Amino acid sequence: MNRSPMFSGLMYSMIFMLAGTILGSMLLVFTSMKEDSWVSLTLGIHGLAMLAGGFVSGKRAGTKGWYHGMLLGLLYALIVWIIGFLAYDAGMTEQTLYVTLISVVGGAFGGIVGVNMKR
């Protein structure tokens, strides 16, 4: 049974985001890291999550990895924005646009690598 490339990529990206968030939180608690650096750490976590999700999506799709990864990045950014809006009443900010840009670029790059790893 084959799953949708988008669904598989989204699940992997969410797993990577959850793991990265837990590790980042542990860094904040157990080290002298300041909360001011959390913004850059968060952008890195989203980027790595989208690389992983785009890779899986591209590998499962077999063709047009950049396309599948880019769409996955847009979907991921939309989900992150909806969660932020509903949970924290956060609107569209400059950081939201950065997350969207990093998600789209990371997903597209991961999709390109994923398609080429299939061969």
Q: Retrieve residue 67's tokens.
A: 């396309």
Distance CA 115, CA 83 (A): 30
Band (1; pLDDT cuts 50, 70, 90): very low
Band (119; pLDDT cuts 50, 70, 90): low
86: buried, middle or exposed (CB in 10 Å: 19+, 13-18, 0-12)? exposed
Contact call for residues 12 and 52 (beta carbons, < 8 A) = yes
Q: What is the mean pLDDT of residues 33-57?
A: 90
| 19 pLDDT more than 90 | yes
What pLDDT score was predicted for residue 10? Answer: 92
Q: pLDDT tens for residues 61-78? A: 888 889 999 999 999 999
Q: What is the mean pLDDT of residues 27-41?
A: 86
pTM of the model: 0.87
